[in-house]
Structures are given as C-alpha cells and as structure tokens.
C-alpha cells in the first residue's frame, strides 16, 4: 500500500519529467503559433502589436493606418486584406513565423545537441520579453472605454490576455536555460 511519504517521494522527483514537458510545451507553442503566422487571420491579429511597437513598426509600410483596416478572426474583407498586403503585414508575419518555428525546433534539438538546445532556450527566453513589451505599447491590449466602468488597466483585452501568458514562457525558458547549462557543464562540452 502506498503511504503519503511514498507519494511525496515520487512527487519530489517529478521535476526530471517536468523539464522535458516544459521543453515539449514551449516547442509546441512556438511551432504551432509560428505556423499560424502564415495564415492571414493570425497575421491580421498581430497588426496592432507590431504597428504600435517602437522596435517593430518599421516593418510595416503604413503602421499608423492599421485601425481602419483591422478584421475579426474569420472575417474576409478583400479590401482590408489588400491593404494588409501593401502594408507588408503578411511578409512580416511569414518571417516571424519562420523564426518562431526555428526557435521551437531549436528547443526540441536539445535531445541530440545540448548547444543547440541552449540556443533555443535563450531565444525562447528573449521572445517573451519582446511580446510582453506589447502590454505597454499597444492600446488594444486593454479593454477599450466603450461605456462599461471596467476599462484600461488592469482589464486585459483578449489580445492582452494572450500576451500575458508569455510570463509562463519566460519562466519556462529560465528553467530550460538552467538545465541546458547544467548538462553542458556536466558533459564538458562548453564553448571555450
């Protein structure tokens, strides 16, 4: 019969499984969301974030005109889609998707290359820092003042809630970096 102490001892070793689950989870998120960046609805949905970012808005041709060209998920508006093409929304999103898929693959590469896995972990750490900055630069990250008393800070919009989840990505990446560093040190395969 299992005792409470036996269960606690087994639970105390779950971190060994946990680090692998974190890597797989982070890789799935990067690969899946990265692949979606090649689909117009996802590219359209990141437009406010990119257009308002002081470090990314230069990728768009007309970043200040985005509000009048936004669509909802599932909405097909050929005129707005043509504007998104001329704005370079889809070209930027394709590039970002490629980078995100690459990061996911680098995270998974840990199984055969600790160095590549470390690189993936570092990139998985840096990406959420950029994403979380959108909470400060994008008005659409917060509920708009449309008559309800609950708007602005701390009331996150759907987009804001999506961005906030990157706090967990950041934390998971820290755990992956620490584990990768520990494994590289043990193997003696550090970069000299």
The string of pLDDT tens digits covering residues 87-144 is 999 999 999 999 999 999 999 999 999 999 999 999 999 999 999 999 999 999 999 9
H-helix segments, 53-113: 78-86, 89-108
Q: Can you give the pLDDT at residue 73?
A: 87
Half-sphere exposure of 143 (CA within 13 A, CB side): 12
Report pLDDT digits (tens) over 64-76.
Answer: 999 999 998 889 9
Q: Can you give the pLDDT at residue 114?
A: 92
pLDDT classification of 190: cutoffs 50, 70, 90: low
- Please, which residues have CB within 8 angstroms of residue 176's CB and are 6 or more apart in sequence? 19, 22, 23, 26, 107, 110, 117, 120, 121, 124, 125
Nearest in space to 125 (alpha carbons), one of 184, 177, 183: 177
The answer to whether the beta carbons of residues 146 and 91 sit under 8 Å apart is: no
Q: Does 96 or 190 have the greater pLDDT score?
A: 96
Q: Can you give the pLDDT at residue 133?
A: 95
Q: Can you give the pLDDT at residue 189?
A: 67
Nearest in space to 40 (alpha carbons), one of 109, 103, 116, 92: 92
Which residue reads 């490629």 in tokens? 98
Nearest in space to 178 (alpha carbons), one of 106, 114, 100, 101: 114
Sign of torsion over alpha carbons 72, 77, 80, 82: positive
Please tell me the least confidently modeled range out of 56-65, 137-146, 182-191: 182-191
Does pLDDT of 32 surpass 80? yes
pLDDT classification of 187: cutoffs 50, 70, 90: confident
């Amino acid at each position: 019969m299992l005792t409470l102490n036996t269960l606690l001892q087994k639970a105390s070793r779950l971190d060994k499984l946990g680090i692998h689950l974190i890597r797989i989870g982070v890789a799935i998120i990067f690969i899946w969301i990265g692949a979606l960046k090649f689909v117009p609805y996802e590219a359209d949905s990141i437009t406010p974030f990119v257009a308002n970012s002081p470090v990314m808005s230069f990728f768009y041709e007309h970043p200040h005109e985005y509000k009048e060209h936004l669509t909802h998920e599932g909405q097909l508006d050929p005129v707005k889609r043509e504007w998104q093409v001329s704005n370079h929304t889809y070209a930027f999103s394709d590039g970002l998707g490629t980078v995100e898929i690459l990061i996911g693959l680098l995270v998974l590469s840990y199984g055969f290359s600790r160095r590549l896995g470390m690189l993936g972990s570092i990139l998985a750490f840096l990406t959420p820092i950029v994403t979380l900055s959108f909470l400060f630069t994008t008005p659409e990250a917060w509920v708009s003042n449309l008559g309800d008393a609950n708007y602005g800070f701390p009331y996150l919009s759907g987009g804001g809630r999506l961005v906030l989840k990157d706090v967990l990505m950041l934390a998971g990446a820290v755990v992956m970096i620490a584990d990768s560093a520990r494994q590289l040190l043990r193997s003696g395969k550090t970069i000299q």
